[in-house]
Amino acid sequence: MSGINYLFDTNAVLYFLNQPRKLHDGSVVFISFVNELELLSYSKLSSNEDKAITHFLKLIEIINIDQQIKNTTITLRQKYLLKLPDAIICATAMIHKLILVTNDLKLHKISEIKCCHLEDITE
């Protein structure tokens, strides 16, 4: 798998930072603004974790919400009874045609998006 664009869920970012791995060549990582908020608002971050997250966020593109993501969020939330943050993240992956990297198994059941685990895309 090379040259593929991924949307990392919050849990994937945390695993990636805690157990550094190499992505396959040409892979590009994005996150939703929701993931950025989740990562930076965790109350028990150590100073080192905060620095690692801040550095990571400078290296990737953060996708903000737009009307298309809003509309898709509503549809996915209604269809799958998702929590709002999960629906936004899934809608972002769907609209931008990104593979969602997550360990959240319920998100793997969303038929409109492709999901994988971090282990599937790292060496």
First and final C-alpha spacing in the chain: 11
Backbone angles phi, psi at 42, to 5 degrees: -65, 125
pLDDT digits (tens, 9 = 90+) for 3-62: 799 999 999 999 999 887 888 878 899 999 999 999 999 888 899 999 999 999 999 999
pLDDT averaged over every residue in the chain: 94
- Candidates 3.40.50.20, 3.30.950.10, 3.40.50.1220, 3.40.50.1010; CATH matching 5-64+96-120: 3.40.50.1010
pLDDT digits (tens, 9 = 90+) for 50-107: 999 999 999 999 999 999 999 999 999 999 999 999 999 999 999 999 999 999 999 9
Count CB atoms within 10 A of the CB of residue 33: 15
33 vs 17: CA distance, rounded Å = 18
pLDDT at 1 over 50: no
Question: Could you tell me the residue ranges of all domains in the chain?
Answer: 5-64+96-120
